[in-house]
Homo-oligomer: A and B are copies of this chain.
Amino acid sequence: MENHVMQEVCRMIGPDWGDGLFCPGGSYGNGTAINLARFERYPDVKKKGSNHIPRQAIFASEECHYSVYKYASFLGIGEDNVFSIRTNDMGEMIVEDLEKKIEQQIEEGAVPLVVVATFGTTVKGAFDPINQIADVSKKHSMWLHIDAAWGGSLIFSQKHRSKLNGIERANSVVINVHKLLAVPQQCSMLLIRDKGILHKCFSRGAEYLFQKDKHYDKTYDVGDKYLQCGRKCDVFKFWFMWKAKGSSGFASHVDALMDLAEYFEEQVNKRSEFMLVSKRQYINVCFWYLPRYLRGKANVLEHSVELNKVAPKIRAFMVENGSLMLGYQPLKQLPNFSGLSRRILL
């Protein structure tokens, strides 16, 4: 069942995509992808460790998910070797900065290992310009991983699929169908272009689990392709839901959410007591609630100290009243703002 679902989603990405696994969360998937990138470049890391290879560099947008840093530490690559690429006002990775930082690292003796692009950043819901990034990755023979944990489910929507154009040029993609598609948590897919690399990277051949003299077709023993041993059977939840709703059911679900976000953005724009942080790209709508004395003024952001206190206060008030659990966050230099995304729409 897992093989079948993976093949179906792989086919939706591109004809030469071939393998994958369900992970306990998108972070784990991102970490596994970085490990595959290192293994592809230096297959003997599996046996010998990474002491004898040069310093490796990972590149990700400054708005990427923090798991990239956490797994860089865990894998022995180190947080300091994750290089933060600047983003524009929309939250998209600036490709010129990526190129510049890759070249800097090569000059300093590091090996540019992997670019982690994001489809649907956590705060703003930005989509990195994947075709340009793929060109850069290809030029430097780097692995391209897309953290599409949040945005990847758009693949089911005919109307919005084009936001993912170029996805097939990556080497690996994480899609958490437990986010946008509302499959019960956790249901996180790591999809891989190369058909054989998972087994090559993770096989250990523990004979007491994966006996070679079993009497049935052993291609269904997928356990030796994973880092884990026992796993939750996450595929079930997705398989059942897909059977029940069909691809068209998922498409309507996604489209309805996008329509709702559009409606909400319009409402924010219409009201003088609210102000958008930046134009919506996905279902993340980021906005400030403006105290009375700031409404209609052009210099709102000059009052960022006061503005910074508003969102936490509203949240505290609403949580205590039990009315709504509303997220908020600062970003780069911007003061705390509220975000309406999956927390409410799903």
- What are the interface flags for A314-326 relative to B under an 8 Å C-beta threshold, 1 for contact and 0 otherwise? 0110011000000
**How often does this chain occur in the complex, in copies?**
2
Q: Are B49 and A51 in contact (CB under 8 A)?
A: no
**Which among B26, B70, B230, B316 is the interface contact of A227 at CB below 8 angstroms?**
B70
Instruction: Determine the interface band of chain A, counting residues with CB < 8 A from chain B.
Output: 35 or more
Residues of B within 8 A of A80 (CB): 47-49
Q: B312 and A213: CB pair below 8 A?
A: yes
CB atoms of B77 and A76 under 8 A apart = yes
- Whether A229 touches B65, Cβ cut-off 8 Å, given contacts A51-B55, A215-B312, is yes
Q: How far is the CA of A336 from the CA of B215 in the complex (A)?
A: 14
Pairwise interchain contact A49-B74, C-beta atoms closer than 8 A? no
A306 vs chain B, min Cβ distance (A) = 14
* Given A215-B312, A312-B211: A78 touches B47 (CB 8 Å cut-off): yes
A208–B73 contact, CB under 8 A?
no
| A71 contacts B by Cβ under 8 Å | yes
State in angstroms the CA–CA spacing of A188 and B320 once bound together.
Answer: 34
A81 within 8 A of B: yes
Contacts of A201 in B (CB 8 A): 73
Q: Is A28 part of the binding interface, using a Cβ–Cβ cutoff of 8 Å?
A: yes
28 contacts between A and B (CB under 8 A): A25-B229, A26-B230, A27-B230, A28-B227, A45-B73, A45-B78, A47-B78, A47-B79, A47-B80, A48-B81, A49-B77, A49-B80, A50-B50, A50-B51, A51-B51, A51-B78, A66-B206, A70-B202, A75-B76, A76-B77, A123-B208, A185-B232, A208-B329, A208-B330, A208-B331, A213-B312, A214-B315, A215-B312
